[in-house]
Amino acid sequence: MVQSPDRIEAALALSRFGLGARQGDLEAISSDPRGALKEEIANRTVPSPAGEELQPTAELLNDLYAFQEAQKDIRERKAAEGISAPQAPSSGEQLAKADAMKAEALSSSSSMAGEKAGSAAGTGAPATPMKGANEPKPVVPFPQRVFLAEAKARFSGTIHAPRIGFGERLAIFWANHFAISAAKGPNVRVIAGAFEREAIRPHVFGRFADMLLAVETHPAMLFYLDNQQSFGPNSPAGQNRKRGLNENLAREILELHTLGVNGGYTQDDVTSLARIITGWTVVGRQGRLGTPGSFVFFANAHEPGDQRLLGNIYAEAGFEQGKAALLQLARHPATAAHLAQKLARHFVSDDPPPALVDRLAKTFMASGGDLAAVSTALVEAKESWSPQLAKVRSPLEFSIAILRATGAKPEPQPVLGGLYVMGQPYWQPSGPNGFSDLVDAWASPEGLKMRMDIANVAATKGADYFDPPDFIETRLGPLLSQETRSAVGRAESRAQGLAIAFMSPEFQRR
């Protein structure tokens, strides 16, 4: 069957730029796929995560401080009573605990809509729960409770809302560009979701400079890259406390967030920027500088004096000195080239066409870093629509595509467990450079093995709801090869047919 170009582009819009096709999406946008994408840009379609635990950063940190105080009280009371106090878990215990959590997460694996496992099989009233109903539920610590609520708001919420989900994909892209890690500690874990809600999502189709400023002043980033520990050596607080610079955040701003590693900066520039942003910190729990848990410019820790960065002099101006430096970095040609390369590599191919990268960079420069304009240029570029599926979905994209394709809105734990075993623990990359965006990182033997197990679980749950041949036509339709149709159709059971569908090149790639 010959596919019309629009049918193919509809499928590409959903998989390459979107979150994967749901039932009906292909048909809905097939008359004008590019138009549908541009409509999401024009409408600024970036869904808002919802949930009662999803509070602003300062409130979450305040609650965290209260939680930690209460924990401390309990420990001290027990110590006073002669009971050995629970220690902060050693790293070994943390590992064991993490493992247990992941095991629980993956094995509960009720990843389909309808939550069938354990209920009476079939259509009758639920009979007997599979798990003992009387088991006491372990208390989930406050930071993890918030983390799970944030995850649920994505996997049962924001990913299901949009028709295509270009904005949600971009939110994931930018959150990975400005990576933080929940593994840093409870103070980052509890606001990892808030970071994305507050610093990333509002600017996905806005100006890069605004996103950059929101990110670098967000407590999550300041904690993650230690800027609250950085003191101007000649500042009053630095002198008092005999403390000095911590270059961590400044280096990553230049290397990862803006110019890129080959962006032409020197070690002097790193040190200068570190000085410039001294005093950018988070109000502590006592609230001496303002509302606990909020960003503050702590003038007493700020290195006094003018600073030279990339050949420009930034006059001493307190917080404004750093803001001016960031705004300059945001409109630097090296930043434009760096971001253009990353965007094209993410959406199009590991080695994107130079002409495309060039066009995106030029659009970035000409528009003053308008991300809606850059996104539009990406969608309008002919290079973006090659029918060849050059990229392999990351585990996160793969998981989301399964959830969208099946309509499943599970509890977050099984999804997080799956991401963990597939090598992309949620909001927890191994470094500030985020998760890899290259095919080689994900098309690994071990990774495929895990994907097969995840696909198998999802397919087992989904077998009651979907007929595999019909399922692939409505989700992958115009992209399908005869070989995949045949492999799915010849499967020995519906579950196996669905597993093959999830593992097919057309579903694994985009």
Write down the least CB distance from residue 130 to another protein, Å.
3
Site string for another protein, 216-245 (x = CB under 8 A): ----------x-------------------
- Residue of 15, 30, 176, 181 interacting with another protein (CB under 8 A): 181
Read off φ and ψ for residue 451, nearest 5 degrees.
-60, -40
CA-CA distance, 318 to 298, in Å (whole number)?
Answer: 9
Site string for another protein, 44-83 (x = CB under 8 A): ----------------------------------------
C-alpha torsion 350→182→418→413, nearest 10? -150
- Residue of 38, 145, 184, 345 interacting with another protein (CB under 8 A): 184
CA-CA distance, 454 to 447, in Å (whole number)?
Answer: 11
Site for another protein in 463-482 (CB under 8 A): 463-464, 467-468, 481
DSSP 367: T
Rg (the chain; Cα; Å):
24
DSSP 1: -
- Residue of 332, 461, 475, 510 interacting with another protein (CB under 8 A): 461
CA-CA distance, 100 to 443, in Å (whole number)?
Answer: 27
- Residue of 84, 128, 267, 388 interacting with another protein (CB under 8 A): 128
CA-CA distance, 441 to 488, in Å (whole number)?
Answer: 27
Site for another protein in 377-436 (CB under 8 A): 392, 417, 420-421, 423, 425, 428, 430-432
Residue 138 interacting with another protein (CB under 8 A)? no
Site for another protein in 90-119 (CB under 8 A): 95, 98-100, 102-104, 106-109, 116-119
Residue 438 interacting with another protein (CB under 8 A)? no
Site for another protein in 31-50 (CB under 8 A): none
Residue 460 interacting with another protein (CB under 8 A)? yes
Sign of the C-alpha dihedral, residues 446, 449, 451, 454? negative
Residue 122 interacting with another protein (CB under 8 A)? yes
Return the SS3 of 282.
strand
Return the SS3 of 170.
helix
Return the SS3 of 284.
coil
CA-CA distance, 361 to 369, in Å (whole number)?
Answer: 9
> Quick check: 178 and 221 in contact, CB under 8 A?
yes
Residue 439 interacting with another protein (CB under 8 A)? yes
Residue 441 interacting with another protein (CB under 8 A)? no
Write down the least CB distance from residue 425 to another protein, Å.
7
- Residue of 27, 268, 316, 446 interacting with another protein (CB under 8 A): 446
Q: Residue 369 or 425: which CB sits closer to another protein?
A: 425
Q: Which residues contact 166 (CB under 8 A, 6 or more apart)?
A: 17, 18, 37, 40, 41, 45, 375, 379
Write down the least CB distance from residue 366 to another protein, Å.
36
- Residue of 42, 50, 120, 261 interacting with another protein (CB under 8 A): 120
From 279-287, 337-345, 400-408, 499-507, give the range in contact with another protein by CB under 8 A: 499-507
Q: Residue 28 or 183: which CB sits closer to another protein?
A: 183
Write down the least CB distance from residue 276 to another protein, Å.
22
- Residue of 229, 248, 300, 474 interacting with another protein (CB under 8 A): 248
Q: Residue 63 or 350: which CB sits closer to another protein?
A: 350
Return the SS3 of 509.
strand
Return the SS3 of 313.
strand
Residue 286 interacting with another protein (CB under 8 A)? no
> Quick check: 257 and 177 in contact, CB under 8 A?
yes
Point out which residues pair with 280 in neighbouring strands: 297
Residue 131 interacting with another protein (CB under 8 A)? yes
Tell the residue number behind the tokens 């996160």, with chain if given: 396
Return the SS3 of 423.
coil
Write down the least CB distance from residue 483 to another protein, Å.
5
**Runs of H (alpha helix) within 109-191:** 142-153, 166-177, 186-189
Write down the least CB distance from residue 414 to another protein, Å.
10
